[in-house]
Amino acid sequence: MAHPLVSQILDLAAPVAEELGLEVVGVVFHTNQRPPVLRVDIRNPHQETGLDDCERMSRALEVILDKAEIIVDAYILEVSSPGISRQLTTDREYISFKGFPVIVSTFPPYEGQQEWTGQLIRRDETSVYLNQKGRAIAIPRVQITKVRLDERR
């Protein structure tokens, strides 16, 4: 369950990120650690998210959070990129991860399966294409609920 302050933090962080040309993709407040850790995941929609992006966001967000005074005790602010574990959503991600192993979830099941694995070939307006041991499979986008990198391989 998300910490009750997460939505307020997100409301403060999103405009800061936008002003810097970034996007907030996640906020987690780990209060079970001492001191607590506030992690804000960002991405740069125009290029790879770099250390410079994280540093700019951290400095700008720190000022806003201090002014808002919604976190009363000491905490650690971590700004990072979400890495490659998240699902693929943008055309750019589909291009970047061409050839990578992915898991495609469908609903209703496509051809009797709800989960498909294989190497990502591409995505177009109608389908996501996978290579399964040399066999190309086209899965209709209207049935796809998510596509994520397969970290098991």
Neighbours of 129 (CB within 10 A): 17
Write the CA distances from 59 to 51, 56, 100, 112, integer angstroms: 12, 5, 34, 50
Residue 14: band (very low, low, confident or very high) from pLDDT cuts 50, 70, 90: very high
**Per-residue pLDDT reduced to its tens digit, 102-118:** 999 999 999 999 999 99
pLDDT in tens, 55-68: 999 999 999 999 99
How far apart are the C-alpha atoms of 22 and 24, rounded to whole Å? 7
**Domains of the chain as residue ranges with CATH:** 6-80 (3.30.300.70), 91-149 (2.30.30.100)
Tell me the pLDDT band of 141, cut-offs 50, 70 and 90.
very high
Q: Which amino acid is at 94?
A: Y
Contacts of 55 (CB under 8 A, 6+ apart): 79
Three-class SS state of 18:
helix
pLDDT at 87: 76
Residue with tokens 């294409």: 129
